[in-house]
Amino acid sequence: MSDRIRRAACRCGQLRITCTGEPVRVSVCHCRNCKARSGSAFAVQARFPAECVRTEGEAKMWQQAGDSGNVADFFFCGECGSTLWFRNRPQLDTCAVPLGNFEPGHGFELQFSVYEERQELWVSIIGDAIERYD
């Protein structure tokens, strides 16, 4: 296992997260919930084993059911509103961190693109090694 350390923070810096090692998954999602969470045409996140994640600051939690019916726990900053990480139930053994919150130079490479049938017509996710799911 790698001992690489990556840091992420909310916009105001009150809420911070440190991820050690390599992510188990880096994915882009085109579902409606992820679009709404990111405020964009898709969302991209790196998922780490929960034991490799350390948080600092005071987070608020909000829960929402996705299209699968599973509930996700979203942790966000009460000051600036940034979602810094989330956990999809029932897999509470991982934490997903939106890539835009990481410091520059994180070095992540996209592995998965999910809910592509909901992808905006003008979006193109490129790469031969990316696994794709509808």
Overall average pLDDT of the 67-88 stretch: 91
How many whole angstroms separate alpha carbon 28 and alpha carbon 43? 5
Per-residue pLDDT band at 68 (split at 50, 70, 90) = confident
The 10s digit of each residue's pLDDT in 16-65 is 999 999 999 999 999 988 899 899 999 999 999 999 999 999 999 999 88
The reported pLDDT for the residue numbered 1 is 58
For residue 52, the model assigns a pLDDT of 97
Element (H, E) at 35: helix 32-38
Confidence of residue 89 (pLDDT cuts 50, 70, 90): confident
**3-state secondary structure (DSSP) of residue 52:** helix
Q: What is the pLDDT of residue 94?
A: 94
The average confidence (pLDDT) of the chain is 93
Q: Which fold has domain 5-132?
A: 2.170.150
Mean local confidence (pLDDT), 6-15: 97
Q: Which residues pair with 20 in a beta bridge?
A: 5
The residue-averaged pLDDT of 72-97 equals: 92
Q: How long a stretch of residues is the chain?
A: 134
Does residue 82 surpass a pLDDT of 90?
Answer: yes
Which residues, in sequence order, are CB contacts of 17 under 8 Å at separation 6+? 7, 8, 9, 53, 54, 55, 56, 84, 85, 95, 97, 101
Q: What is the pTM of this model?
A: 0.91
pLDDT above 70 covers what percent of the chain? 99
Domain ranges of the chain: 5-132
